[in-house]
Amino acid sequence: MNICKKVFLIVTMTLLLTSCAWPPQKASIPKPEPLPALPKRPPVNFRIEGATAYVSVDEMKALMKYVLDLEERNKAADRELGKIREALQ
């Protein structure tokens, strides 16, 4: 082998090895913000008469607040998921 071929092989092998050694660039995925804590479900005492269930007004208000808190947490999770999907595209 002449010297030009040896140099050419050494250079190409070096380039191949160094290009394989560098890690590929990955899309930077944003760290999701922590979700709000799950709200504690309020205790509810149902009084059932026939086919009708009765709940006190205070308990119903507490249940509605619980449901609204769950919806807010779900929306926050959807926003974070959207951010991650954007970063992956």
Q: What integer pLDDT is reported at residue 18 of this predicted model?
A: 67
User: What percentage of the chain reaches a pLDDT higher than 90?
Assistant: 0
Q: What phi and psi, each to the nearest 5 degrees, are found at residue 53?
A: -110, 130
Domain range annotation of the chain: 27-88
Q: Which amino acid is at 53?
A: A
pLDDT band per the 50, 70, 90 thresholds, residue 73: confident
CA pair distance 40, 67, nearest whole angstrom: 10
pTM: 0.47
